[in-house]
């Protein structure tokens, strides 16, 4: 990883902490897949854009309806639990 990529990741992590008021280290709890039968959705203010069959890193199980996830482009956001499948 180059220095430029490292600084970009650090910046994205800082923005994530500020936006979601997340404290502590960012640990991946597990990975889950977006249901291939789910409809694709564009991301909103704090919601992650969904693509069918995409593998997401689970950062936090927030409540009964949503999970805080990170996608392959290192973007963070909430994803509905109803569209997530365990690997």
pLDDT one-digit tens code per residue, 47-75? 898 888 899 999 998 888 999 999 988 88
**pLDDT tens digits, 70-81:** 998 888 999 999
Distance CA 30, CA 13 (A): 18
Domains of the chain in start order, with CATH, are: 3-86 (2.30.30.40)
Average pLDDT over residues 8-29: 87
Q: Are strands 76-80 and 84-86 parallel, antiparallel or unpaired?
A: unpaired
Q: Write down the pLDDT at residue 4.
A: 87
- Exposed, middle or buried, 78 (CB in 10 Å: 0-12/13-18/19+)? buried
Q: Write down the pLDDT at residue 1.
A: 66
């Amino acid at each position: 990883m180059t220095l430029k990529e490292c600084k970009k990741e650090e910046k994205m992590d800082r923005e994530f902490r500020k936006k979601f008021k997340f404290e502590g280290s960012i640990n991946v709890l597990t990975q889950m897949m977006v249901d291939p039968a789910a409809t694709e959705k564009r991301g909103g203010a704090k919601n992650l854009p969904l693509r069918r069959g995409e593998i997401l890193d689970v950062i936090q199980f927030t409540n009964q309806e949503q999970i805080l996830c990170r996608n392959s482009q290192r973007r963070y956001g909430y994803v509905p639990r109803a569209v997530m499948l365990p690997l």
